[in-house]
């Protein structure tokens, strides 16, 4: 993601950040993306998901 | 009354009518007046309420109708716990004038047990943004050296308990917010099993990672306080519907026969700890072996894997909670809270769901690792508290912490003081149990703690 695309994502989220704030956040964005990559399991597509819906509401 | 009392000691003296809850409360209030200008641990002191609570406890003492071991004990609540008629701010400008109409479940439970409410304690903003210097109140400071950090987010509870301003207090723990301040302030603090204690009426940060729990000077006190806050709450969707165990059942039984695993790579490779922290852990391992426990090494995924899944989930859930205010009052948040959570606006739905799938893998991995074990030991913090002005803003993205793994897995985890470092500040270790086996965690923690001399020393500022 380029800095401009990054800024556009934040704008689209409705956050009113200054250019300085966007620049700082963009500088650490790769660290978050590294975490996202680590948190992406090597599971087959059909693996049971962890977010379950139970029709019998407690 | 002079000197410091643990909750167990105070309870024993109150039961024997040798200690007046009113005098105990006055002593704590005097300490607040003398010390808290240096510590900033209280956001609000509820002196009138404290004296009323103490007088009621004293009347019960005199009439022989004490409610139990917590009757007449001065405590404080982290300022994300709703207190009816008493300001609850989350240490934030956004809730500067917020006065709830109902107590949170845990506040009510402790009140029912006869505790004396001393006031509301500092936190990182909404339990994530700190240490911050741009909020309506300053950050809490470490009583072992006020130039140093308490850790967070239960920062006020850490400082207040260590300095003896209260005998115990509440914390909340989403990625380590009970165990971090307990470690850096030299306390016993437990994040119980997910679902053991209600979160209803506590301002949320991340619904699937949030835990409530106690912070105290000793492990025994921690067990007493947890006993009074545990239990099923049908209105908390995360609450476990199961009987509450006797938290003190294992105290005094030693550790003979227990099987303990050590996750060395967490503190030797994944985030190497200070020499004093390592010495404390190795000393504990040696103690447990000599006391008859079987100790083996355990290897799981790198600590950063647990932190990654935890942080993605925490960020996404916290952003969801704060999104409406982020769109309308973004700059009313402090810088740390605002910037740390704004990054979550870049996460996708897939990022969140994949992190929950990874979380499930990690839970299964930890369950398998503990199959033949009773407990796990590892570090709870890298070392002594750093200076409060030298805490990196983006530390959580740069280095894995030792606590998040047990928020992700939901396992009960206790931080215990394991000595003091070169700078004279506490170091610590972490004892982790199987789900709802808090009593075993306390059993081992108490055996270790009572065999060592760390509890005889209080911060010089308070002593």
- Judge whether B1 lies within some domain: no
In a domain, A7, yes or no: yes
Asked whether residue A54 is domain-assigned, the answer is: no
Contacts of A49 in chain B (CB under 8 A): 353, 356-357
Structural domain total, chain A: 1
| CB < 8 Å to B343, chain A | 25, 28-29, 32
Same-domain status, B85 and B215: yes
B261 with B312, same domain: the answer is no
Residues B308, B287, single domain; the answer is: no
Task: Look at residue B113 and tell me if it is in a domain.
Answer: yes
Residue A27 lies in a domain: yes
CB-based contact A35 B326, cutoff 8 Å:
no
Q: Domains in chain B: how many in total?
A: 2
Q: Kindly tell me the burial class for residue B460, based on how many C-beta atoms sit within 10 Å of its own C-beta (0-12, 13-18, 19 or more).
A: exposed
Confidence bin at B2 (pLDDT 50/70/90):
low
Cis ω before B97 (30° cut-off from 0): no
Q: Tell me how many residue pairs between chain A and chain B have CB atoms under 8 A apart.
A: 90
CATH number of the structural domain spanning residue B83: 3.90.1300.10
Q: Is A8 on the interface with B (CB under 8 A)?
A: no
> Over 80: is that where the pLDDT of A19 sits?
yes
Q: Distance between terminal CA atoms of chain B?
A: 14
B283 within a domain of the structure (yes/no):
yes
Collapsing DSSP to helix, strand or coil, B416 comes out as strand
For the cut 80, the answer to whether the pLDDT of residue B462 exceeds it is yes
Mean pLDDT of B4-26: 98
**What's the distance, Cα to Cα, between the start and end of chain A in Å?**
42
- Domain shared by B228 and B264, yes or no: yes
Instruction: Determine the residue among A17, A42, A50 to mutate to test chain B binding: the one whose Cβ has the most chain B Cβ atoms within 10 Å.
Output: A50
Task: Give the domain extent around A15.
Answer: 3-38
Query: According to the 3-state scheme, what is the secondary structure of B249-296?
Result: CCCCCCCCCCEEEECHHHHHHHCCCCHHHHHHHHHHHHHHHHCCCEEE
pLDDT of residue B124: 98
For A28-52, write each residue's pLDDT tens digit.
999 999 999 999 988 888 887 787 7
Residues B248 and B328 in one domain: no
ipTM summary value: 0.95
| Residue B21 placed within a domain | yes
Residue B271, phi-psi category: left (phi > 0), alpha (psi -120 to 50), beta (remainder): beta
Arithmetic mean of pLDDT, B5-33? 98
Question: Does B404 fall in a domain?
Answer: yes
Assess B397–A contact: CB distance below 8 Å, yes or no: yes
> Is the domain of B195 the same as that of B280?
yes
Lowest mean pLDDT of A49-58, B248-257, B282-291, name the range.
A49-58
pTM of the model: 0.98
DSSP-derived letter for residue B385 is P
Does residue B2 form part of some domain? no
Q: How far apart are CA B24 and CA B258, in angstroms?
A: 38
Q: Answer yes or no: is pLDDT of B421 > 90.
A: yes
- B176, B407 in Cβ contact below 8 A? yes
For residue B463, what pLDDT is reported? 85
Angle between helices B155-162 and B21-39 (to 10 degrees): 120
Mean pLDDT of B15-33: 98
Residues B308 and B422 in one domain: no
- Domain coverage including residue B329: 304-355
Residues 6+ apart with CB under 8 A from B290: none
Average pLDDT, chain B: 97
Q: Considering CB atoms only, which of B237, B304, B357 is closest to A38? A: B304
* Tens of pLDDT, residues B46-61: 999 999 999 999 999 9
Judge if B72 and B120 occupy the same domain: yes
- Residue A55: inside a domain, yes or no? no
Establish if B254 belongs to a structural domain.
yes
CB of B290 within 8 A of CB of B447? no
pLDDT tens-place string over residues B316-360:
999 999 999 999 999 999 999 999 999 999 999 999 999 999 999
**Does B339 lie in the same domain as B367?**
no
For position B293, what pLDDT does the model report?
98
Is the pLDDT assigned to residue B225 strictly greater than 80? yes
DSSP codes, B188-226: EEEE--TTSB--TTB--S-TTT-EEEEEESSHHHHHHHH
Same domain, B173 and B240: yes
pLDDT digits (tens, 9 = 90+) for B155-187: 999 999 999 999 999 999 999 999 999 999 999
* Same-domain check for residues B297 and B312: no
Does B419 share its domain with B284? yes
The pLDDT > 90 percentage for chain B reads 99
Of the candidates A31, A35, A43, which has its C-beta nearest B357's C-beta?
A43
Residue A29 lies in a domain: yes
């Amino acid at each position: 993601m380029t800095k401009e695309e990054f800024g556009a994502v934040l704008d689209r989220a409705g956050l009113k950040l200054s250019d300085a704030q966007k620049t700082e956040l963009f500088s650490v964005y790769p660290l978050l993306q590294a975490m996202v990559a680590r948190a992406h399991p090597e599971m087959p597509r059909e693996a049971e998901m962890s977010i379950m819906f139970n029709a019998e509401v407690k | 009354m002079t000197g410091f009392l643990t909750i167990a000691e105070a309870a024993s003296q109150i039961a024997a009518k040798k200690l007046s809850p009113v005098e105990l409360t006055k002593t704590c209030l005097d300490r607040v007046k003398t010390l808290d200008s240096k510590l900033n641990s209280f956001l609000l002191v509820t002196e009138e309420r404290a004296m009323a609570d103490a007088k009621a406890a004293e009347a019960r003492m005199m009439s022989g109708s004490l409610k139990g071991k917590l009757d007449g004990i001065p405590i404080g609540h982290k300022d994300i716990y709703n207190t009816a008629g008493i300001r609850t701010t989350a240490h934030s400008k956004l809730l500067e004038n917020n006065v709830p109409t109902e107590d949170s479940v845990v506040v009510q439970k402790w009140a029912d047990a006869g505790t004396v409410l001393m006031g509301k304690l500092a936190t990182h903003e909404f339990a994530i943004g700190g240490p911050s210097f741009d909020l309506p109140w300053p950050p809490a400071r470490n009583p072992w050296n006020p130039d140093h950090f308490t850790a967070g987010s239960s920062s006020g509870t850490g400082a207040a308990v260590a300095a003896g301003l209260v005998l115990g207090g509440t914390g909340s723990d989403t990625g380590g917010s009970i165990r971090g301040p307990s470690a850096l302030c030299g306390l016993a603090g437990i994040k119980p099993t997910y679902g053991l204690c209600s979160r209803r009426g506590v301002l949320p940060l991340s619904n699937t990672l949030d835990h409530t729990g106690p912070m105290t000077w000793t492990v025994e006190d921690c067990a007493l306080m947890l006993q009074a806050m545990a239990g099923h709450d049908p209105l908390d969707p995360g609450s476990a519907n199961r009987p509450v165990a006797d938290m003190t059942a294992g105290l005094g039984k030693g550790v003979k026969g227990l099987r303990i695993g050590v996750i060395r790579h967490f503190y030797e490779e994944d985030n190497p700890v200070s020499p004093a922290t390592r010495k404390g852990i190795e000393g504990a391992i040696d103690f447990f072996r000599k006391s008859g426990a079987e100790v083996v090494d355990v290897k799981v995924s790198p600590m950063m894997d647990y932190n990654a899944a935890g942080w993605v989930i925490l960020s996404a859930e916290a952003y969801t909670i704060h999104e409406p205010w982020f769109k309308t009052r973004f700059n009313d948040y402090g810088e740390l809270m605002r910037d740390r959570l704004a990054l979550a606006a870049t996460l996708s739905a897939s990022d969140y769901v994949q992190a929950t799938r990874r979380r499930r893998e990690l839970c299964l991995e930890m369950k398998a690792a503990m199959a033949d074990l009773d407990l796990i030991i590892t570090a709870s913090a890298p070392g002594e508290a750093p200076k409060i002005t030298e805490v990196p803003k983006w530390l959580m993205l740069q280095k894995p912490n030792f606590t998040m793994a047990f928020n992700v897995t939901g396992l009960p985890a206790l931080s215990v003081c394991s000595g003091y470092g070169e700078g004279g500040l506490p170091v610590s270790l972490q004892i982790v149990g199987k789900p709802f086996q808090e009593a075993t965690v306390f059993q081992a923690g108490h055996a270790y703690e009572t065999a060592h001399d760390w509890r005889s020393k209080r911060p010089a500022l308070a002593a």
